A and B are shown apart, each in its own frame.
Chain A
Amino acid sequence: MGGMTIAEKILFQKTGRRVQPGDIVIAPVDGLMATDTTAPGALRAFEKMGGQRVWAPEKCALVIDHAAPAPNERIANLHRLMRDFAHQQGIRLFEIGEGICHQVMVEQGYVRPGYLFIGADSHTPTYGALNAFACGVGATDLAAVMLTGKIWLKTPATLRIRCRGRLRADATPKDLILYLTGKVGISGATYMSVEFEGEVFEAMSLAGRLCVANMTAEMGAKTGFVHPRGLQLPYPFEAVEPDATAQYAKTIEVDVGELPPQVAAPESPDNVHPIDRYAGTPVHYGFIGTCGNGRLEDLHVAARILRGKRLPQGVRLVIAPASRSVLLEAMLDGTAHALVEAGATLITPGCGPCVGSHEGIPADGETVISAANRNFRGRMGNPRAKIFLASPATVAASVLAGCIAPPPPEAVP
């Protein structure tokens, strides 16, 4: 028997069983999370299952982030349902304005290296940046985990993506993961685990790693890992590394040294092209935020481009910090001031307009340049708007120019 991939090793640590891809395991989990899109259904399913008490309140979190603050009475009542349940069960509820689930779970230490973590949200593989086996499920699956503390999983085969070289000065982790998503395709890693390795990741910040792992969801992956070499966290941890003899379903080797900034054109996150192809396309609306790119260093890059400038007439920029602590930092260090002065609109830390719930729906025929991770038709609430995905640097440069434009290289750290 060969060695183990990271996914196989974590399932082995959880179950005590050597697993092969395709093996079904029932594994104990280390934590779970649900949002205001998924929690209401999960709570109802939990009750219908006969659930009285959740298996471990301290390992559960509910986050109000997708439509926060509530834009209407229907959603307000769903939020109340979550608050009541959290109160009854002694579960931590993250309130409106505390941030996006995936940022809050990382900041608050709910997810750590080696964990098996289940989130009722498709971008749960984001925690692969932290070397955790993290997997997204729907509401009923989550209810079952809340009740039993366990989940059934099919052991995923692993796709290895090896990158050679370092990024150019004007390319960011978002450009890299957009490029790789274009290469692998929107279903190229369906049911699989993805492992990223290469020196480009070793020097990457936690924010960059989170941005990379985040988009494994756009490859259809079950979970994904950035190789933990070089990972720095504010607490001691033991990293789970793949064995040298691990068996991969497939290995893709990619040179990234010459990679220019990338955009994903409508209407799929794998419709990825070098920015030149679309440079000059007029944009009406820029958005910086989300579990992909709403972190402090993303706001820093935007501020570096926008400080002292003014958005042109007819172009707007909406910024949703990924969490309250990101917002606080951005307020303290002057970033928020620079952005708002340039004409950006700062909104509640949370998902914002990413999924079209509220806070900035584009109009018919408008073009959006967004630092989010999905651009499916109708994603931001209007099927007649077009969404391009890009790095925060490209979004900032584009709103300033009024059309899709590459960032000045000196703006990217």
Chain B
Amino acid sequence: MNALLRGRAHVYGDNIDTDRIIPGKYTKTLDAQALAEHVLEDLDPDFRRRVQQGDFVVAGDNFGCGSSREQAPIALQTAGVAAVVARYFARIFFRNAINIGLPVLEIPDHDIADGDELEVDLSSGRVHNRTTGKTYEARPLPDVMLRILQSGGLVNHLRIHKTF
């Protein structure tokens, strides 16, 4: 896990559901690249073209609500998204993201704007907005999630440690 990330924020609103992250009609595949092709397409058809490796998706309340599809964080990660910041997340999305090694940061009071340059320190959970100079603290993760993320996801974690 690379502890210091730098990239640009792509900002969206509240209640971005998993059907908007990756529509259900595309989810029946094990090909992560095929998922990335359609990431956020109904919400922002341009996202796929604009996103750069290492960018961040930033949202308001309840990001990732709806289905249990792990294809949602996989699509974001494969498209190049390095981490997702939201005021808070829907619970299955939150677990799924950590499980596949996509960092998620809950910052209840952020006011990050589209295009802001962010620096995310995963070890401290601190997010520095290089555009505005503001710094935010993410809610700390439970220990078990931190351990999973540090192993690079739940697959690696269980392969190495055999337990949680």
Q: Are B155 and A49 in contact (CB-based, < 8 A)? A: yes
- B91 pairs with A222, CB closer than 8 A: yes
Asked if B90 is at the interface (CB within 8 A of a chain A CB), the reply is yes
Q: Is B13 an interface position by the 8 A CB rule?
A: no
Q: Could you say which of B20, B68, B155 has the most chain A C-beta atoms within 10 Å of its C-beta?
A: B68
Asked if A38 contacts B69 (CB within 8 A), the reply is yes
User: In the complex, what residue of chain A is closest to B164 when comparing beta carbons?
Assistant: A152
A122: chain B residues at CB < 8 Å are: 66-68, 92
A357-B159 contact, Cβ under 8 Å, with A120-B68, A121-B68, A138-B96 = no
In angstroms, Cα B25 to Cα A187, docked, is 24
Q: Shortest CB–CB separation between residue B26 and chain A, in angstroms? A: 9
Which of B19, B88, B90, B99 is A379 in contact with, Cβ under 8 Å?
B19
Q: In this complex, what residue of B is CB-closest to A79? A: B28
Assess whether B11 is interfacial by the CB under 8 Å rule.
no
Chain B residues touching A, range: 35 or more
Q: Is the CB of B91 within 8 A of A49?
A: no
- Chain B residues with CB under 8 A of A378: 19-20, 23-25, 42
A148 engages B158 (CB within 8 Å): yes
- Annotate B71-93 by CB proximity to A: 1 below 8 A, 0 otherwise: 10000000000000000101110
Query: Are B17 and A138 interface neighbours, CB within 8 A?
Result: no
Chain B min CB distance to A91 (Å): 19
Fill in one digit per residue for B1-44: 1 if any A CB lies within 8 Å of its CB, else 0. Answer: 00000000000000101011001110111100000000000100
Whether B70 and A356, one on each chain, are in contact in the complex, defined by CB atoms closer than 8 angstroms, is no
Choice from A26, A140, A154 contacting B154 with Cβ under 8 Å:
A140
What chain B residues lie within 8 Å of A250 (beta carbons)?
A: none
Q: Mark B85-127, 1 if CB is under 8 A from A, else 0.
A: 0001011100110011000000000000000000000000000
If A37-B27, A37-B28 touch, whether A187 touches B68 (CB-CB below 8 Å) is no
Chain A interface residue number, banded: 35 or more
Residue from the list B20, B65, B67, B70 in contact with A187, Cβ < 8 A: B65
Contact B15 A186, beta carbon cutoff 8 Å: yes
In the complex, chain A residues 365-413 whose Cβ is within 8 Å of any chain B Cβ: 374, 376-379, 381, 383
Q: Which residues from B are CB-within-8-Å of A49? A: 154-155, 158-159
Question: Out of A24, A45, A220, A268, which one reaches B155, CB within 8 Å?
Answer: A45
Contact B23 A220 (CB under 8 A): no
Alpha-carbon distance between A37 and B155 when the two chains are bound, in angstroms: 19
4 A-B pairs with the lowest CB-CB distances in the bound complex, closest first: A138-B70, A138-B96, A187-B62, A355-B24
Interface residues in chain B, defined as those with a beta carbon under 8 Å from any beta carbon in chain A? 15, 17, 19-20, 23-25, 27-30, 42, 61-62, 65-71, 88, 90-92, 95-96, 99-100, 142-144, 153-155, 158-159, 163-164
Beyond A144-B164, A376-B17, A378-B25, 12 additional pairs, beta carbon < 8 A? A40-B28, A49-B158, A67-B28, A121-B68, A124-B68, A138-B95, A143-B155, A148-B158, A152-B164, A268-B15, A355-B25, A374-B19
Q: List 21 A-B contacts (CB under 8 A).
A: A36-B28, A40-B30, A66-B28, A122-B66, A136-B92, A137-B68, A143-B154, A144-B154, A144-B158, A144-B164, A147-B158, A150-B163, A150-B164, A187-B15, A187-B62, A190-B65, A220-B65, A220-B91, A356-B25, A379-B24, A381-B24
